[in-house]
Amino acid sequence: MAVYALDDRVPDIHPDAWIHPDAVVIGNVTLGARASVWPTAVLRADYGTITVGEETNIQDGTIIHCTAIEATVIGARCVVGHNVHIEGATIGDGALIGSGSLVLNGSVIGAGAQVAAGALIPPRFELPARRMAMGVPAKVRDGVEIPEGNFDANAKMYAANAEYYRTALRRID
């Protein structure tokens, strides 16, 4: 895996977290217990901080960044889909950020909420807990409330998968 300090900004990675060898973690990044970072994901905290909670999975191709003004905070048991871009936003516990979506600066995604695949969450957007946002730009979908703990099984599956990869993955080229 490619884990880098940048000057005095050093990642803080829980011993039970797992980072794929082809992922990149730079600077002030904190990864909680059983968090996982999958192939080609990049977490770059060069001037601010990125915090990823326990059992959260950062899937393939995702880019997570922050600014000196806006930290990126991703709660526990979150599912961050493939090819997501999160920049200076706060994601509540148990949320799902759908594949290919963008969550921009100063946005707040509530606990257990869902950002639909391909959605664009504009700056300073607030998605209430257990609600769904979809579209470009995203809008809160009326009449849809996500059941509490809806994405827990996915978060646990990814935590178990990371344990499997920790022992079974081997490069053969």
Tens of pLDDT, residue by residue, the chain (173 residues): 799 999 999 999 999 999 999 999 999 999 999 999 999 999 999 999 999 999 999 999 999 999 999 999 999 999 999 999 999 999 999 999 999 999 999 999 999 999 999 999 999 999 999 999 999 999 999 988 898 888 899 999 999 999 999 999 999 99
Torsion angle of the four alpha carbons 47, 40, 17, 91, in this order, in degrees rounded to the nearest 10: 60
The reply to whether 173 falls in a domain is no
In a domain, 53, yes or no: yes
Residue 127 to residue 156: CA distance in whole angstroms: 24
Omega cis (within 30) before 15: no
The token pair that represents 158 in the structure block: 């990814």
pTM above 0.85, yes or no: yes
Look at residue 148 in the predicted model and tell me its pLDDT. Answer: 87
Of the candidates 83, 34, 77, the residue with the CA atom closest to the CA atom of residue 59: 83
| Containing structural domain, residue 127 | 2-168
In-domain check, residue 25? yes
Pairwise CA distance, residues 20 & 36, whole Å: 8
How crowded is residue 8: how many other Cβ atoms within 10 Å of its Cβ? Answer: 7
For residue 8, being part of any structural domain is answered with yes
| Structural domain includes residue 128 | yes
Measured between alpha carbons, how far is 90 from 65 in angstroms, rounded to an integer? 12
Q: How many domains does the chain have?
A: 1
Instruction: Give one DSSP letter per residue of 31-59, joined into a string.
Output: E-TT-EE-TT-EEEEEEEEEEE-TT-EE-
Please report which helix (H) or strand (E) contains residue 55, including its range. none
Identify the pLDDT of residue 98. 98
Task: Flag whether 150 is in a domain.
Answer: yes
- Asked whether the beta carbons of 98 and 120 are under 8 A apart, the reply is no
CATH (domain of 96): 2.160.10.10
